[in-house]
Amino acid sequence: MPQFKTIYTQPKPVLSVEVFPPKTEHGTQNLYVELAHLAQHQPSFVSVTYGAGGSTRGKTLELVQDIHARFGVLTVPHFTCVGSSRQDVRDYVDQAIAQGAVNIVALRGDPPHGEQEFRPAPDGFRYASELVAFLRSYNSQLDIAVAGYPEGHVECRDLTKDIQHLKRKVDAGASVVLTQLFYDNTDYFRFRDLAVQAGITVPIVPGIMPIIKFSQIQRITSLCGARIPTALSSALLAHTDGSADQQAASIDYAIEQCRELMETGAPGLHIFTLNNGHATSSLVDALEGYFD
């Protein structure tokens, strides 16, 4: 199966999507309907998130296996440092590789619910760069993606310093950077240029999250430190929260945002679906010409 280092050498932009393990059977069936549609666009990979504190650990690997079997698309598990010792990492990697994994998305993760700061588990890791280095030393054949933050990490608003943190992750062995969501492309362009200046040469893939409900995205951005441009918030607030009209306005914005990114040389798009079929499918359908 292809690895990140080869996926991003292809001549056309790379389409990838991110999903999370549903909590109910109904949610699972809805996700499969979405993926059946998205599979027609031949995404290069689907990534599956790893719940807070490893709460979906088993479900993550189960869903990775199931998506690949059902749709024949490369599927990649996430892993975070939260609540995980070195032995937990070994066990998870061994299980993932036994299922056929050749890639992993390695993240530090957010502090558990109710905690204000991140604390590493006993014999665990404080930083994603440490996790990447450990993964690389434990299994040199596993390819690794890491996160980047176009507006700076919520715990490090100094973008220059945050770029140095990113460089440590890349130097430790990451092959690609998947960015946090953002809604102003100037943030991505600035981040990409600073990364290149710092000597980061791996692909930096913009992460895109179509807005399903304005109140929901307000909560998400407050946690991750991303901002919503005034023009976008005004367009969304002109409609009832969560309405079809609000979703349509957000999808139109995302389409234009993605077109600009594609036309200015972004290596692809990584779409955070929130397991929402309508928004993701509408966006990908409008952009299919870039990925053909």
Active site residue ranges: 18
Exposed / middle / buried, residue 184 (Cβ in 10 Å: 0-12, 13-18, 19+): middle
Report residue 266 as tokens. Answer: 């972004």
d(CA 36, CA 28): 12
CA-wise closest residue to 144 among 85, 76, 207, 206: 76
Report residue 117 as tokens. Answer: 């700061």
d(CA 1, CA 259): 29
CB 111 within 8 A of CB 81: no
CB 271 within 8 A of CB 286: no
Q: What are phi and psi of 200, to 5 degrees?
A: -85, 120
d(CA 128, CA 124): 11
Beta bridge partners of 78: 105
Q: Which residues contact residue 53 at a Cβ distance below 8 angstroms, ignoring those fewer than 6 apart?
A: 82, 83, 112
For helices 159-172 and 185-197, give the axis angle rounded to 10 degrees: 60
What is the number of other CB atoms lying within 10 angstroms of the CB of residue 224? 16
Report residue 278 as tokens. Answer: 């309508």
